[in-house]
Amino acid sequence: MTKVFVETTVLTDALLKAGLLGAAARQSLKRASETLLPVYAIKEFKAGPLSYYVWLHNKFVSERKYSDVQNALHALSRTPQRYRLSTALEAMRDVEATMRTTLAALSEKYGAQADVDSVMRDRYRLALYAKIAKAWKQRRTVVSSTVCPLSCYVETEPKSGKNGLIDLNGTRCGPPRECCLAADFKARPSELRALMNSIEGSTRPEDQRRRKALRSLERTPKRTMTEEVCRALGDAVFALQCPRDAAVLTTNLRDHRPLAGALGKTALRPTDI
């Protein structure tokens, strides 16, 4: 049996995804001997994947027709927001898999004169709302324990307003002076250097931002560690916080394996357990 440190991608799959991805994540969490979820993963989950589900739900609330939502997604495809678009499309696919009903049942619920556009918009909206609420409620129950608290981050619950829109709120930290992780990370300069070396030469923007954040902590420890630096560290946080006797559990081995390996730790996929 394996003790695992659950990363954001696995948490997302376990809470939001249907089909094989969701099943693989949930089964791996059951197979592991112990599953540890850092609050940093909850923070990333809310600011990333969950926010994309909320964005899609709110589109189904604010747009008058299902076709208008499709147009909004098409417009999104022409922007750099590829993660928001891909997650929204996955969400719609997963919702569609649950829409098994009959024309008679739809007629009884919506009336014989209801148009398909309105019915589809309503069904997507309700299904997405249920999925968002359930995911947030279960974020801590899919694991053995939640660890590595963040004193400068408050887990505020998504709220539904009178207009039906979901207010996600609280996706960012509010450190009074400095990020609560600063003291711990700054006290480990050799590990910071090892992480920098593991992504040396990478031209990917996220790695360049991560290396800049690591360099700042290692070379100028007196400089305040802001929330922007904390977010830029991203995957490096999991390598730093993962216990020595655990493995980072992720679907993104490309990023996590070299970072974990730089500190003498391991990274595993859900199917590896």
* Structure-token pair, residue 243: 């216990």
Q: In the predicted model, what is the mean pLDDT of the chain? A: 89
Sequence-distant (6+) residues with CB within 8 A of 259 are 195, 198, 199, 235, 236, 238, 239, 267
The answer to pTM > 0.85 is: yes
Domain that holds residue 198: 3-272
Residue type for position 176: P
How many domains does one find in the chain? 1
For the ranges 9-18, 72-81, 114-123, which has the lowest average pLDDT? 114-123
Q: Which of 41-55, 74-88, 89-103 tops mean pLDDT?
A: 41-55
pLDDT score of 54: 94
Q: Which of the two residues, 227 and 74, has the higher pLDDT score?
A: 227
Residue 116 has pLDDT above 70, yes or no: no
The runs of H, that is alpha helices, within the chain are: 8-16, 19-31, 39-45, 51-62, 66-76, 82-98, 103-110, 116-138, 182-186, 189-198, 205-219, 227-233, 235-241, 253-262
Kind and range of the H or E run holding 166: strand 166-167
Q: How many CB atoms lie within 10 A of CB 70?
A: 14
Is the pLDDT assigned to residue 131 strictly greater than 60? yes
pLDDT digits (tens, 9 = 90+) for 175-187: 778 999 999 999 9
